[in-house]
């Protein structure tokens, strides 16, 4: 649980926490952290590069310094600003771990969407649908930003996820609803004999294909276009991955999808379910509670299902040897492994 507000001031602070996000996102939108790669730049120089006024730049820098994203030191004739270590790694455009697309998606899409939470609750409809119908109605640029965001935001988590698994004795992975392929890429990095088929909607796969151009494991990846509600997933796989999928689907769809994945696996095949699930017997942690709410904003029937519920579905479908690994903080993902007899 978050620290409960105990005073009026703390309550008001809670109501205006959005200001902190607004500062961080404005700095990303102006590409301030890339500009700060040259710490010798004057405020005027930074302002010109970012397209802001000198006064606005100074105020933004001070707010970023107060947030700990920027360091502020003295120099002759004024202040000298530089990136914090974290901003340098994740918010500078030239960094290999830049998460700018994910940050901009927060700004241009998710920030506005969260502001319409009450509307989603009243109308019982997502305000920014990301299911197959939602993706079909987006522009190419929006789908591209979505896929890049999945990649950038998912990379660190996917790396930690892959470390929890040993797939060295497996040959062919089916990644259902693979998105940017982030999780498969990390698994292939660690398992040199493994090949992967990424099953995804065609509009998304188009941009996954672009990302493949930049990864060394590309020759071991196959792309398979399709809709997992309607199309055949293929066969001959000795492992399958459902990563961040069940939480976007209703109970009925999850059960149908698990049956399909079961059918596509060879005997002895391993299914890995990775996602945000909750413990049905205790109140949700803040992140999980927010996550479940966010599903109402994006997916008509999505929610974080209980890990026990997923285990029951897996048993009903015919999987055995089911093991559940709870989240390893700071990650909030539960990992379930199950075998087809």
CA distances from 255 to 181, 261, 276, 323 (A): 23, 10, 17, 18
Is residue 75 within 8 A of residue 42, CB to CB? The reply is: no
- Nearest-approach distance from CB 284 to ligand SAM, in angstroms: 19
144 binds ligand SAM (CB under 6 A): no
Residue from 101, 200, 217, 332 touching ligand SAM (CB under 6 A): that is: 200
User: Residue 75 is inside which H or E element, if any?
Assistant: strand 70-75
Instruction: Give the Cα separation of 158 and 155 in Å (integer).
Output: 5
What residues are paired with 199 via a beta bridge? 176, 224
Residue from 178, 233, 304, 335 touching ligand SAM (CB under 6 A): that is: 178
Instruction: Give the Cα separation of 155 and 236 in Å (integer).
Output: 28
Instruction: Give the Cα separation of 81 and 40 in Å (integer).
Output: 8
131 binds ligand SAM (CB under 6 A): yes
Return the residues of window 219-248 that contact ligand SAM according to CB under 6 A. 227-229, 243-245, 248
182 binds ligand SAM (CB under 6 A): yes
E strand residue ranges, 191-332 = 195-200, 221-225, 237-243, 265-275, 320-325
- Nearest-approach distance from CB 28 to ligand SAM, in angstroms: 21
- Nearest-approach distance from CB 7 to ligand SAM, in angstroms: 38
Return the residues of window 29-88 that contact ligand SAM according to CB under 6 A. none
- Our CB check for ligand SAM shows the closer of 87 and 149 to be 149
135 binds ligand SAM (CB under 6 A): yes
- Our CB check for ligand SAM shows the closer of 167 and 201 to be 201
Size (the chain), residues:
341
Is residue 56 within 8 A of residue 44, CB to CB? The reply is: no
334 binds ligand SAM (CB under 6 A): no
Give the residue at shortest CB distance from ligand SAM.
179
- Nearest-approach distance from CB 252 to ligand SAM, in angstroms: 14
Residue from 204, 212, 258, 270 touching ligand SAM (CB under 6 A): that is: 204
Nearest to 36 by CA among 77, 75, 72, 66: 72
Residue from 71, 79, 132, 224 touching ligand SAM (CB under 6 A): that is: 132
201 binds ligand SAM (CB under 6 A): yes
Of the candidate spans 103-111, 185-193, 196-204, 314-322, the one that interacts with ligand SAM by CB under 6 A turns out to be: 196-204
Nearest to 129 by CA among 275, 296, 305: 296
User: Residue 82 is inside which H or E element, if any?
Assistant: strand 78-83
Binding site for ligand SAM (CB under 6 A): 131-132, 135, 150, 154, 177-179, 182-183, 200-201, 204, 227-229, 243-245, 248
């Amino acid at each position: 649980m978050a620290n409960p507000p105990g005073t009026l001031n703390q309550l008001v602070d809670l109501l205006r926490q959005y200001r902190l996000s607004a500062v961080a996102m404005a700095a990303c939108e102006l590409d301030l952290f890339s500009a700060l790669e040259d710490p010798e730049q004057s405020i005027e120089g930074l302002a010109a590069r970012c397209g802001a006024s000198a006064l606005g730049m100074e105020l933004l820098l001070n707010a970023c310094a107060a947030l700990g994203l920027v360091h502020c030191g003295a120099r002759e004739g004024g202040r000298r600003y530089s990136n914090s270590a974290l901003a340098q790694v994740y918010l500078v455009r030239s960094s290999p771990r830049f998460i700018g697309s994910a940050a901009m998606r927060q700004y241009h899409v998710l920030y506005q969407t969260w502001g319409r939470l009450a509307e989603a609750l009243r109308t019982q409809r997502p305000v920014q649908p990301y299911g197959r119908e939602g993706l079909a109605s987006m522009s190419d640029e929006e789908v591209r930003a979505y896929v890049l965001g999945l990649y950038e935001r998912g990379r660190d988590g996917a790396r930690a996820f892959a470390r929890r698994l040993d797939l060295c004795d497996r040959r062919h992975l089916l990644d259902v609803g693979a998105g940017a392929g982030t999780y498969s890429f990390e698994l292939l990095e660690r398992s040199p004999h493994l090949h992967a088929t990424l099953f995804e909607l065609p509009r998304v796969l188009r941009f996954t294909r672009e990302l493949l151009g930049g990864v060394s494991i590309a020759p071991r990846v196959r792309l398979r276009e399709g809709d997992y509600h309607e199309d055949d997933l293929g066969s001959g796989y000795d492992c399958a991955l459902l990563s961040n999928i069940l939480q976007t689907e209703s109970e009925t769809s999850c059960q149908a999808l698990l049956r399909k994945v079961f059918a596509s696996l060879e005997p002895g095949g391993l299914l890995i379910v990775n996602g945000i699930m909750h413990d049905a017997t205790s109140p949700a942690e803040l992140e999980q509670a927010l996550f479940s709410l966010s599903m109402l904003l994006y997916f008509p029937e999505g929610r974080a299902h209980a890990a026990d519920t997923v285990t029951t579905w897996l048993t009903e479908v015919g999987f055995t040897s089911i093991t559940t690994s709870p989240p390893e903080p700071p990650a909030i993902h539960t990992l379930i492994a199950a075998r087809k007899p």
